[in-house]
Amino acid sequence: MRKVLFLSPLDNIAVCLSDIAAGEMISQEGREVTAIEHIPRGHKISIRGILKSEGVIKYGERMGHATTDIPVGAHVHTHNVLGDRLSTEQV
Amino acid sequence: MSLPEILGFGHSGRGVGVRDHQLILPSVVCSTRVSRRIAAEVGAVTFAHQHGCGIIGIDVAGIDDFFVDLASHPNVGSVLIVSLGCETIQGNELCAKIARFNPSTQYIVIQESGGVEGAVAKGILLARVLASQFKPSRQRIEELVVGIDFSRQIADPRALVDALAKQGITCISADQIHGCAKNFSTLMAQKAQVILSFTSENQPPTGFALIPVINVASASPLHNAIMGEFDLKSDATSEEIAALILKVASGAKTISEANQSGEIVAPRAVRSV
Amino acid sequence: MSAPQLLGYPRSDGRWGFRNHILLLPLHQALCNTAREIENSVFSAVAVSHDWSGEIDSDFERIAKVFAGIANNPNNFSTIFLTIGTETETKIIERSRVLGATPLHVLSLSDSGSMAHLLTSAIALASQLKEAANKESRVLAPVSAIVLGLECGGSDAYSGITANPALGLASDRLVELGATSILGETMEILGSEHLLAARALNPAVGQQIIDLVARYERSINYEGIDIRGAQPSRGNIEGGLSTLEEKSLGAAKKAGSAPFTGVLEYADHPTAPGLYFMDTPGHDIEQLTGFAAAGVNIAVFTTGRGTPTGSTVIPTIKVATNTQMGSVLADLIDLNAGTIADGSQSLEEVGSLIFDKIIEVANGRQTKAELGAHHEFNLSRLYGSTL
């Protein structure tokens, strides 16, 4: 069974289809990525390095930006991503 | 002259109730039906509302506070919160906030109970366990606070308040601009155990699920057409009003209470997102 | 593509109903319990509960439109208004009469003289109407009879991958066959509105979509609130959604890839078949209420976390986005789309199952929400008028 879902070739994240343990290697559809931390089912794993302020891309579309440098294999979520819209905060 | 007494329910730290309601509190609109089924089964009080999710800004704390006020009202014995699970107002957090004032509080979560039937079964069991440990006892009249809804102007409000004070009845009031349903919520938050409502000439009498409401008619055509729905006629004297307040405070049902009429209005400042 | 066999109740204004409700609509909060008592004693009657006391304030127009609209939903065989007997109520009822062909009945408290009489006469009337409704039978309906509402609630990271795109396929097929489909939840297209606008039938409609989202964004920013504190909701975040845009990109997939025919204000009726966007809150029940007032006669509600809710008058099909929730909360869920992520069914297969389920439910099969009598109603307000 697939462990992750690659949604678009433009994406820098993949969606985990089950809990992924730290150190677990995912080898699927000709790609390889090693999780550097635990990532819960349904959450996102970075499949490329994402620099601070760079866009996080899902479905081939920008869903927000990184608030810190995100290495490959990291849990990508509210602790390191922020939406671009509807904010009183200036980035 | 010795002051009269009432038959009430003493709750340490949150006053004396004139009713012993069990409140089944849906923390979000989505758990309305599950709450109704539990309430119907155990004979508790519940109500439909549209809050708890899709709320932002000051409304998040505002709705939370409103639920805490309802659940810690002295007319409430125990509380069962029925949470869906993914809403803004979380059942476990709300439960902890309420329990500081009313320790007889528990919660269930539909999404963690295997669905509707699981939640209803679990809720009924919990509600039965929670159901009243409280027995009525004689209480000093000083424990009673009557909230007066002045949705319409009456000839001499001061004289009424003074006359009630002579009987040992403490009054608080909410004024005419907001309409009686909103006034009831305001008076609830101030812990009135009985409400005396002078509703507008063009409004029907109505009630509030946790608090007995005594409705006093005006001489308007609408009120004349439905006179039987009022507890007191427009010419009721202060003595008649005081006598009925004492009866109701000791357990006599008002007409709106028997009809179970009136929904609960929660204050909201911001639109739903 | 062959058209399925669809059976419904033709209404004299050309619309179709897939249910034959007797709707009890109290126009004052003091009468809601009476409405519920009638519902409890007359099978197939449905009652609305709300907290409005006849106030005429900034939200009155929106409230009147919802009452008038829901009274006229084509799924109603007939509507009984319970009133106090005021002029404001009469205006709402008149407005409803103009909207459509649903037979409207009015019982007022002041004419009845007491709550007890009102209850007795309403039960008698509802029973009489029920008998008449039972005599009607369904007839063959064209697919254009369907006015589908698209909704999602309690979304998770699977919503945009499984249930929403599968629903999008079903919606596309219905639109192609001449039906109407409506996407709502303005907040949940925020961040994906450029993609929807690009699919508009003409540039004017595209611009309307963009403008509507901008207006929404202003109405929230006006409050000085950083919505990112509340959206995505806590449940969404636990489910793996990190930003509003991410949620929106997934939510918009419910509307498939058909072109957008038009844009509707909250509770407005679509005038021709096609795919529409309606300005509604993301609040599930305020959205379903807006759909009901707009004449939607069947809805599909995708959910990641699971919710029992349904609409007062619209049969609402619940589709699970993930198998885990779909099996644990089976008594809330009509169909599981989680099989797409499991790899056991394709998007196309599940899209086809949703399409079949829509037809089956339209033809009379009860949804889980209907079986459990979960039929909520809310008045959507913009101006904090309950303060």
Radius of gyration of chain C (CA): 20
pTM for the whole structure: 0.95
The CATH number assigned to the domain holding B173 equals 3.40.50.2300
Q: Do C245 and A44 touch (CB under 8 A)?
A: no
* Residue span of the structural domain in which B47 resides: 21-130
Do B102 and B157 belong to one domain? no
pLDDT class of A90 with cuts at 50, 70, 90: very low
- For chain A, list the contacting chains (3+ Cβ pairs, <8 Å): C
Tally Cβ neighbours within 10 Å of residue B58: 15
Report which of C289, C296, C247 is spatially closest to residue C269, judged by C-alpha positions. C296
Asked whether residue B113 is assigned to any structural domain, the reply reads: yes
Residue C90 buriedness (CB in 10 A; 0-12 / 13-18 / 19+): middle
pLDDT class of B88 with cuts at 50, 70, 90: confident
What tokens does B252 get? 């006599």
pLDDT at C230: 61
Do B112 and B210 belong to one domain? no
- Residues B21, B257: Cα–Cα separation, whole Å: 12
Asked whether residue B199 is assigned to any structural domain, the reply reads: yes
Sole residue written with tokens 């999602």: C152
Q: What is the DSSP string of C205-269?
A: HHHHHHHHHHHHHHHHHTTT--GGGTSS-HHHHHTT--SHHHHHHHHGGGGTTPPEEEEE-TTPP
Q: Which residue on chain B is closest to C327 by alpha carbon?
A: B114
pLDDT at C228: 58
Over range B25-41, report the average pLDDT: 97
Report which of A83, A5, A81 is spatially closest to residue A42, judged by C-alpha positions. A5
Do B107 and B51 belong to one domain? yes
Q: Do B53 and C233 touch (CB under 8 A)?
A: yes
Q: Domain total for chain B?
A: 2
Do B77 and B150 belong to one domain? no
pLDDT surpassing 80 at residue A89: no
Domain end call among B106, B130, B154:
B130
> For C260-304, how does the pLDDT look when each residue is reduced to its tens digit (9 = 90+)?
999 999 999 999 999 999 999 999 999 999 999 999 999 999 999
Over range B235-260, report the average pLDDT: 96
* Domain formed by C21-135, architecture: 3-Layer(aba) Sandwich (3.40)
pLDDT at B162: 95
> For C302-327, how does the pLDDT look when each residue is reduced to its tens digit (9 = 90+)?
999 999 999 999 999 999 999 999 99
pLDDT class of C78 with cuts at 50, 70, 90: very high
Q: What residues contact B11, with CB distance under 8 A and at least 6 apart?
A: B17, B74, B102, B134
Largest CA distance in chain B: 61
Over range B94-108, report the average pLDDT: 97
Task: Sketch the domain layout of chain C as residue ranges.
Answer: 21-135, 143-371
Over range C166-173, report the average pLDDT: 98
Q: Are B208 and B262 in contact (CB under 8 A)?
A: yes
pLDDT at A1: 75
Q: Which is more confidently placed, B59 or C83?
A: C83
Mean per-residue pLDDT over chain C, rounded? 94
Tally Cβ neighbours within 10 Å of residue B124: 18
Report which of C76, C170, C54 is spatially closest to residue B182, judged by C-alpha positions. C54
pLDDT class of B87 with cuts at 50, 70, 90: confident
> For C225-259, how does the pLDDT look when each residue is reduced to its tens digit (9 = 90+)?
666 556 677 778 888 999 989 999 999 999 999 99
Asked whether residue B3 is assigned to any structural domain, the reply reads: no
Q: Do C308 and B202 touch (CB under 8 A)?
A: no
Q: Are C171 and C150 in contact (CB under 8 A)?
A: yes
Task: Sketch the domain layout of chain A as residue ranges.
Answer: 4-82
Q: How far is C25 from chain A (nearest CA, A)?
A: 37
Do B237 and B157 belong to one domain? yes
Q: Which long-range contacts (CB under 8 A, 24 or more apart) does B138-141 make?
A: B138/B5, B138/B6, B138/B7, B139/B5, B139/B6, B139/B7, B139/B8, B139/B10, B139/B16, B140/B3, B140/B5, B141/B3, B141/B4, B141/B5, B141/B6, B141/B167, B141/B168, B141/B169, B141/B246
Domain end call among B130, B159, B187:
B130
pLDDT at C229: 57
- Residues C22, C293: Cα–Cα separation, whole Å: 15
Task: Please give the ipTM for the structure prediction.
Answer: 0.96
Domain end call among B101, B130, B159:
B130
**Three-state SS for C297?**
coil
Do B108 and B27 belong to one domain? yes
Q: Which residues of A touch C245 (CB under 8 A)?
A: 61-64, 83-85
DSSP letter assigned to residue C58: T
Q: Are C315 and C357 in contact (CB under 8 A)?
A: no
> For B174-197, how does the pLDDT look when each residue is reduced to its tens digit (9 = 90+)?
987 778 999 999 999 999 999 999
| Segment 129-168 of chain B within 8 Å of chain C by CB | none
Nearest neighbour of C249 by CB, restricted to A17, A59, A88: A59
Q: Do C245 and A63 touch (CB under 8 A)?
A: yes
pLDDT surpassing 70 at residue C55: yes
> For C325-360, how does the pLDDT look when each residue is reduced to its tens digit (9 = 90+)?
999 999 999 999 999 999 999 999 999 999 999 999
Task: Please say whether the structural domain A4-82 has been given the CATH code 1.10.760.10.
Answer: no
